[in-house]
Structure 1
Amino acid sequence: MSEVVYPPESLYNLIPKEEVYTEKTPRYMSKYRSTVVLEKKTAKDAMRTMGPVKVEVPSPDKYLKKHSKEPKLPEMTQRTREGRNRKPAVPTRSDNPTMGIHTKRDFIKTASAVPMKPQPICVDTRKGHKQLLGNSGLLPKYIKKRDYGEVPEYLQRAQKEYDSFVREQKEQGAMKHLSDEERQAVLESLKKNWDQLHHKYQGLSLVTDTMSKKSHKERLEVAMKQLESDINLIERFKTIYIPKN
């Protein structure tokens, strides 16, 4: 047999406990409930049979006739009939014909005129977008200019100013033109000086561990670069002017 477990005895258990009741909140009721119920009841009672109670019965005389829905022209009155058939009066012998009247399109001139040539177009997309070929930049319009192939005016003006300056300097005796022999002699002397500096540069030690060695090497490199730039300048220009002073 299973043992029955009783709660421990206590004086507090002898005192009867009051039962606690939880009050529920009242259910929500709309204040329009009665109005809605009344409207629903009246609408339901009015449509208990099939369709509305009062239906307008069609008249037996208003049945659909043949061609009744086709559009009809307005009736022809006496005034419109007379205006349609009215024609201009026949001119008399004394009436002069009107001169200088031109119609909107002269068929004789149109037939004898030269047909218009189609404007060339350029299609630049696969979807067929096109534009005029003249505005696309594909036509060399610049070759049709009057001054095409000529030296621009500002270059001609600059050349004239330079020539006038050189002429003035020659006249004043401030500039001296080097001849080909002198130019060649100067060029050979520059190359000779460069060879001497290069020979000294080749004789430097590989290890530059002192400040004097570094400065000597830098001086040789600067002098060689200056000689190279002078040699290139003289070889590039055949006409050279130097001051007499």
Structure 2
Amino acid sequence: MAALSAQEGASEPPPRPRLPGKSDGYISKLRELVKHEAEKNKSQWKTMGPAKVAVPTPNDFLQKRSKEPKLAPKKKEEDGKKLIPLSVPPRTYHPITRIKKNFINKNAVAVITGEPKKPRHFCVDTRQGDKYLLEPSGLFPKYIKKKNYGVLPKYVTRRNEEMKREEEEYQASVLEQLKMKAMKALSEEERTNVLKALKKKWEEINHAYQGLPIITDTMYKKMHKEELETKLNQLEHDIAAIEKHKTVYIANV
């Protein structure tokens, strides 16, 4: 007995002591319900088919035209009132009277009163009598008979007017610029005053020129003499031009 108890003790070790404060974990209250629903919805016949199949009855067979859509039955009574057949026509009834038409007389009147067909223009180009119409061939001058033949289109007339207006605006702008840059004519009084000022300036420069030393032995003296001679020549040219011309123009710069 001691040996058996020793073997039982060796095969089944004693349970471990549970640590204080540690639980088995959260267990949901709906655990059994979820297992039941999973087993219920599980398809056990996924590949082999259902375990039990309902056998069709002999009376439930497919009949001819059973799958075609059927119309609703006609209502014999409308709004609970029976339709009374009318034996007497109403006063608003007008019977259809068929009039026999004489198409021979009608066609004869149409031919007599109608206008005759105009002959079509054609051309015969072979001795066998082969002919072709002139109108679709382009040889018949039908375009020159149009009302607008030879009349300029509206877009061309409009374009010409725009070009003419642009040309007038350009000429007006050019004249305005020429007027702004036009030369101003000096009056007689202004011309006399300018001439007097030039002669006075010439006298001053000539007086300075006369006071130069006779001997120009340095570069500065030579350059000063040449400068005074250039100014005197320019003044003499301007004085001669103003005295020669009675009307003098000055540009507006």
Same fold by TM-score, threshold 0.5 exceeded?
A: no
- Larger Rg, first or second structure (1 or 2): 2
**TM-score after normalising by structure 1:** 0.30
**TM-score normalised by L of structure 2:** 0.29
